[in-house]
Structure 1
Amino acid sequence: MSSPPQSAYAAFCCRYGNYWQTLVTARGLTYRYLSVPAGHKGVVLLFLHGFTSSVYDWHYQLDYFHNKGYGLLAPDMLGYGGSDKPRDTKLYQHTPLARDIMDIVAAEVPPDVPIIPVGHNWGVAVMNRLVCHHGKRFKGFVFLNVAYMGPNASAPYDLDELIPLSKQMSGKELYAYWELFTKPGADKICEDNIESFLDMMYAEDEPSVSNRIKLTRHKSEEFVENGMRLPRAKFIRDEDYEVMRDHLVGPGRGMWGPLAWYKMWTDGHHRSEDQVLRSHSELADEGLTTIMITQPVIFFAAARDAICVPSWMRPLMEKVSRHLTTVVLDTSHWIFLEQPDMLNAELDKWLEGKVLRTRS
C-alpha cells in the first residue's frame, strides 16, 4: 500500500531540508526561518511577510530565486507560524522587530554578502525601520503593494476619529476593518469563524468585497461573527488554503499574534519609537518620511488593491527614492500569489539590471 501524499506544507519543508533554522534574538524571542546561503548570484533575498501570511506564502518566489542562484532568508514573523507569539503588544513595535531581523541577518549572512529585503503588507513596516536604522547593510529594497511610510508620532489610533477622517480625506473608511481586528476577543472571534475570516481576506472579487465589507464600518465584524461566506479567489489553491488555515488556527497557533500587529497601534505603542525617528527626520513633509533611499528601489503596485491604491502609494515612493522603478500589475492585494510568474520575472529583471550590474 502506498503512503498518503504529503501536504503542500510538508513538501515545501522537505524541499528545503536542513535550511530551516531557529534563533533566539537579543530580546529573548525565538524565530523560525528559512536560510539558504547565497548561490552563484552572491546576493541574499530577505522576505518579510505581512498579515495573514507565513514563510510558505512566498513559495513561488523562494523556489524561483533559489533555482536562479540567490540566497534566501525568510522568517515567520513574530506572532506567526513557528516563531514566538507573545501577548504583550508592545513587543510588536517596528523598530525592535527590525532589530530582531538584524539579529537573524547577523547570524546567517556574512557581512560582505549583499542583501535585498522584499516586504509585503506589515512586512513593509518592518522594512521601513531597516531603511531608517540599518540602511547601509542593504543593496536595495523591494516594496510590494505598500509604500514607504515614515514615523507617525500621534496619539493612539482612535478609530472613532481616524475612520471618519480617512473617509473625509480619501472617500473610503480605510481603517474600518481595524474595528474587528482590535476589539477585545478578536482572536477568538476570527478563530471560531476562520472560514469566514479567510473568505473576507482572500475573496474572489477583492476590490468589491473590500469596499463593501472591509472599508465599511461594522461590516467586517458582521461578516465574520455571523459566519458569512464568499467565493474564494481562484489563485488560492485548495492545498494552499489548508496551509494558510493551519498557520492561523492549527495546533500551537492562533490569531492573537497576527492581530497584535494592529493592536500595537491602537494601544499607542508606536508613539515612543516614532517620536525618536521624527526628531531625526531629514525630510519635513508632514512626517511621512524620514530619509532618502539612495539604493535601487522597486515598487510593485497592484492595480486592483482597494486599500493600498497605486495612485496614493506611488507619490510616497517617489518622495524617498532616488533610483525608483515602479511596476503595476493587474492584481489584488496578494500580488505575489496572484501573478507570481509576472512578479518573479520583473523582479529578476530588476535585480539583474539594477543590483547585480552595479555591484562593486
Structure 2
Amino acid sequence: MSGNHELLEALNILEQEKNISKDTLLEAIENSLVTACKNHFGKSENVKVYIDPETCEFNVYQEKTVVETVEDPIMEISLANAKMIDSKFDLGDIVKVEVKSKEFGRIATQNAKNVILQKIREEERKVLYDQYYSMEKDVVTGIVQRYVGKNVSINLGKVDAILTENEQVKGEVFKPTERIKVYILEVKATSKGPKILVSRTHPELVKRLFESEVTEVRDGIVEIKAIAREAGSRTKIAVWSNDPDVDPVGACVGMNGARVNAIVNELRGEKIDIITWNENPAMMIENALSPAKVISVIADAEEKTAKVVVPDYQLSLAIGKEGQNARLAARLTGFKIDIKSETQARESGDFMDYENDYEDDEYYEDGEYEEKEYTEEEFSEDGEE
C-alpha cells in the first residue's frame, strides 16, 4: 500500500498537540485493521499488520499454511498457488499473502477511523488524568465557572473541578471568572475524563499556601509541625526552625506581615495565629493559647490532659469567642485543656496545690519554674539557654 502522508501528518500533530505517542496510535491502527479483517473474513488469528512508523505505509498479510487440499481458504493455501508466489515453498510452510485494501471496503476503513478516534479520546483522558493525579494534595489556582446547585464548578485549565458544599467555607460566595486557590482532594478516573474534587476548608490548603509564600518553608528550613483550622474563621499553625539563625514565626509573618497577609487575603480575612512549636507540652500549650497570657501549665503527657491557669482578665481571651481559641489550641497540641482563671484556680485549690509543691508565693516564678523544669535539658542541648 502507498505511503500515507496524511496519516503521518495527523499522527505527528497529535503527538505534539495532544501529547499522545505515535507508537500508541500506530498500535491502535494495527489493532483496528486486525479487527476489520476479522469482520471481513470471520477470523483474525492469522492476520499480521505491519506499519512503517517512518512513512506510515501499512501492509496487511494473512499467514496461510501450504497444504495439498485446501479446506479452509482463510487459513490454508494450495501448494500450486504457493509455488506461484515463490517456488521455494513446500508443504507445511507458512506463506504471507498480502490482503489488498479494496477487499476491506469502506466499512473496514470507517472501523479503523473510529478505533483511532476512540483511542485518541482515551489517551487524552489518560494524559489529563495523569497530569491532575500528580497534583493531588496540592494547591492550584482555578477560575470560578458557575454554581451547579450548591456546588461550584471551577476550571483548572484543561478540566473542570467540583467544589462541593461540604468543602466550601461558610459565607464565601464566588462570582464567575473569579480566580481562587483550591486544594485538590482527590482525582478519580471516569469514562468522561478525570473527576476532580477540590476544597477550600482543608487545613493542608493553609499549609500549601505557606509553602508557596514562604521560601524557608519551601526549602525545609522552617517546618510546619502542626495545624488546626476552623475554615473561614481562624487557623493556628505551629512552626519550628531547623536553623538557629532563622526565626520561624518571623519568616512566616514576613516584613510588616507581608507574607501572612497575602495568605489571609487569599483566605478572605481568615485570622492566622503563628506560634513556635515546642517539644515540651507545657510550653507548647502556653504558645498555642496565644494571644492570651498564661500563668501556669501543668501537662500530663500520658493522659494528654493539661490544667492551665490564666490571669482573671485574660480568661475570655484564652477561651476565645465561643470557645474557639481553646478548641484550636487543644487540636493543635492534641491535649485536652482545662482553663481556669487565677481566682477560680485558687478557689478550687488547684492553684494552691501548685504553689505548695514549690513552697513559693510568687506564682509567676512558679509558672516559669514549672516550664523550666520541663525544658532544662532540651534547652541546654539546643544551645538556646
TM-score category of the 2 structures, normalised to the smaller one: under 0.3
Tell me which structure has the larger Cα radius of gyration: 2
TM-score for the superposition, normalised by structure 2: 0.22
TM-score for the superposition, normalised by structure 1: 0.23
- Structure number with the higher strand fraction is 2
